[in-house]
Structure 1
Amino acid sequence: MTDLKPWYLSKTIWASLCTVVLAAASFAGVPTGGLEGGAVADGILQILTATTGLVALWGRVTARRAIA
């Protein structure tokens, strides 16, 4: 990995930021609009958090350039 790319082009950075935002939203109890039942909303946030965490791992494994 000798080529460099800006941080904002990194799949790993974006997926990690999304994971942090979703986890913080879940922790803070952000209202989820029209969803009925807290359990459904919590489940959706947990699924999205896990998915973005997996995307971050995938981004790191498939990276071809270092972040500048």
Structure 2
Amino acid sequence: MIETKAWYLSRTVWASLVTILLAIANYSGIAATGLPQDALTDAAVNIATTISGMIAIFGRLQATSRIG
């Protein structure tokens, strides 16, 4: 892992940012406000957060370049 790449080219960084944004939306109630199926919306946000976190982990494990 000698090569470097810009931070915005990293799948790990993007998946982590999505995870953070989804978590903030969920905790602040933005994700479910005003929607008729609040429980379904919460479940969808939680699933998306989980998938995004998994992408971050697998992205880091498969990385071939450093972020620089």
**TM-score normalized with structure 2 length:** 0.92
Structure 2 counterpart of 1:61, one-letter code: L
Counterpart for residue 63 of structure 1: 63
Deviation >3 Å, runs of 4+: 31-35
2:11 is equivalent to residue 14 of structure 1: no
Q: After superposition, where does 1:1-68 map in structure 2 within 5 Å?
A: 1-32=1-32, 35-68=35-68
Say if 2:32 and 2:42, in contact at 8 Å, map to a contact too.
Answer: no
Identity fraction in percent: 41
User: What is the RMSD of the two structures over their aligned residues, measured on CA atoms?
Assistant: 1.5
TM-score normalized by structure 1? 0.92
**Unmatched tracts of structure 2, length 5 or more:** none
Deviations 1:4-61 (A, max 9, x none): 0000000000000000000000001014578422100100000000000000011000
Q: Distance in 2 between matches of 1:40 and 1:32?
A: 9
Separation of aligned partners in 2, 1:48 and 1:14: 13
> Does the aligned pair in 1 maintain the 2:26–2:32 contact within 8 Å?
no
Stretches of structure 1 that go unaligned for 5 or more consecutive residues are: none
Number of matched residues? 68
Give the AA of the match of 2:55.
V
